[in-house]
Amino acid sequence: MIKVGIAGIGFMGWIHYLAYQSAADVEVVAICSRNSGKRAGDWSSIKGNFGPPAGQVDLAGVQVYETLDEMLADPNVDLVDLCSPPAAHLAGILAAAKAGKHVFCEKPLSLTLADCDQAVKACQQQQVQLFVGHVLPFFTEYLFALQAVQDERYGKLLGGSFKRVVSDPTWLTDFYDPNVVGGPLLDLHVHDAHFIRLLFGMPTAVHSVGRKRGQVVSYCQSVFEFGDAEYCVGASSGVIDQQGRPFNHAYEIHFEQATLQFEFAAFADQAEAMPLKVLLADGSVERPELGDGDPVFAFEREVAELVSCLEAGKVSEILDATLARDAIEICQMQAEQVV
């Protein structure tokens, strides 16, 4: 049984908590929060855009701490789940590694490449596992695409285009601060940067154009080069100033024998989707049955992967910290192109 301590009880802390309740061989044994109400089990102030609303949580049998240092001193905790703000990730990882705890860090791994490298090195030196919560590959449409690449069911992968665009998140006061959240590339596009890295490997070059707000990129379009000259890969991501479409993500992925196409958009009045379709060379269209698309299920799959890798003592193909580190480098390569 893997015993988990969750650090930071916000929206991600709540979603992770829910995912652990559905997982085998894992138990939440501790939490830490600076908020006294949350330490008492009142999580009703948590707001999010999916999943059941948080309310009163029964913390019977769960040790409650105010600080991470206090929780790290608990010998009953095997794995620290860091759901703190991005700017606090490095310090939390270093402290957990020093305490001999495995770490599950919510994305992004950190805000700078140097901090990512320091985090990875510290966990390697302390011989603890570092997982990073890039959950996108566990969403049904993205999992289907990843598995199609892995088993080559449609032949050779040729390229793709990826989109992730939101309206201005005005409720996040530090969203455009490079030292706190990092802006749209590190908070938003990093999902697709990680997925591109997972599917195609590390780009050898990036060409980007875009707009900036202050010191960070607010919107950009990028084309990536790879060692395989046949790969044709692009991405668009960032913020638009029209609040009528709060969220939009999509992909079109090309193989020798098929094209995968998917798009979802949340509008102010309703959500609209173009469900996953497989366009085949013979002119036919397949519409895979993907089951319930509840986003919480993706986090349950993520936790199952985490537990499986910890029990087997192996590195996760998806949650590997070096991939998360590379995703930050890709974002940095893009940002350097936008002036």
* Both tokens assigned to 26: 């894992």
Cα–Cα distance measured from residue 159 to residue 327, given in angstroms and rounded to the nearest whole number:
18
Has residue 71 got a pLDDT over 80?
yes
- Which element (helix H / strand E) includes 325? helix 321-337
301 in any annotated domain: no
Mean pLDDT, residues 150-177: 95
Has residue 324 got a pLDDT over 80?
yes
303 in any annotated domain: no
> Which amino acid is residue 220, in one-letter code?
C
Cα–Cα distance measured from residue 49 to residue 61, given in angstroms and rounded to the nearest whole number:
29
Query: CB within 8 A of 39, min separation 6: which ones?
Result: 31, 33, 64, 65, 66
What is each CA distance from 50 to 15, 56, 189, 317, in whole angstroms?
9, 18, 19, 26
In this structure, are residues 15 and 51 in contact, taking their beta carbons and an 8 Å threshold?
A: yes
In this structure, are residues 154 and 257 in contact, taking their beta carbons and an 8 Å threshold?
A: yes
The pTM score is 0.95
In this structure, are residues 80 and 65 in contact, taking their beta carbons and an 8 Å threshold?
A: no
Q: Are residues 94 and 156 in the same domain?
A: no
CA-based nearest residue to 44, from 14, 3, 68, 67: 14
Has residue 154 got a pLDDT over 90?
yes
> Which amino acid is residue 37, in one-letter code?
G
Please list the residues that pair with 81 across neighbouring strands.
Answer: 6, 104
User: How many other CB atoms are there within 10 angstroms of residue 21's CB atom?
Assistant: 12
Note the pLDDT tens digit of each residue in 225-245.
999 999 999 999 999 999 999
In this structure, are residues 298 and 319 in contact, taking their beta carbons and an 8 Å threshold?
A: no
* Structural domain count of the chain: 2
Note the pLDDT tens digit of each residue in 199-221.
999 999 999 999 999 999 999 99
102 in any annotated domain: yes
Q: Are residues 234 and 265 in the same domain?
A: yes
Q: Are residues 266 and 195 in the same domain?
A: yes
213 in any annotated domain: yes
302 in any annotated domain: no
Q: Are residues 177 and 63 in the same domain?
A: no
Q: Are residues 34 and 15 in the same domain?
A: yes
Q: Are residues 191 and 329 in the same domain?
A: yes
CATH code of 74's domain: 3.40.50.720
Cα–Cα distance measured from residue 81 to residue 5, given in angstroms and rounded to the nearest whole number:
6
Q: Are residues 275 and 141 in the same domain?
A: yes
283 in any annotated domain: yes
Domain range enclosing 189: 136-293+322-337
204 in any annotated domain: yes
Q: Are residues 152 and 277 in the same domain?
A: yes
Dihedral angle of Cα 109, 135, 240, 168, to the nearest 10 degrees:
-70
CATH code of 282's domain: 3.30.360.10
Q: Are residues 207 and 107 in the same domain?
A: no
298 in any annotated domain: no
Note the pLDDT tens digit of each residue in 102-134.
999 999 999 999 999 999 999 999 999 999 999
Q: Are residues 158 and 275 in the same domain?
A: yes
Q: Are residues 63 and 192 in the same domain?
A: no
* Both tokens assigned to 182: 């990092």
Q: Are residues 174 and 285 in the same domain?
A: yes
Has residue 293 got a pLDDT over 80?
no
Dihedral angle of Cα 97, 100, 105, 110, to the nearest 10 degrees:
0
User: What is the average pLDDT value for the chain, to the nearest integer?
Assistant: 95
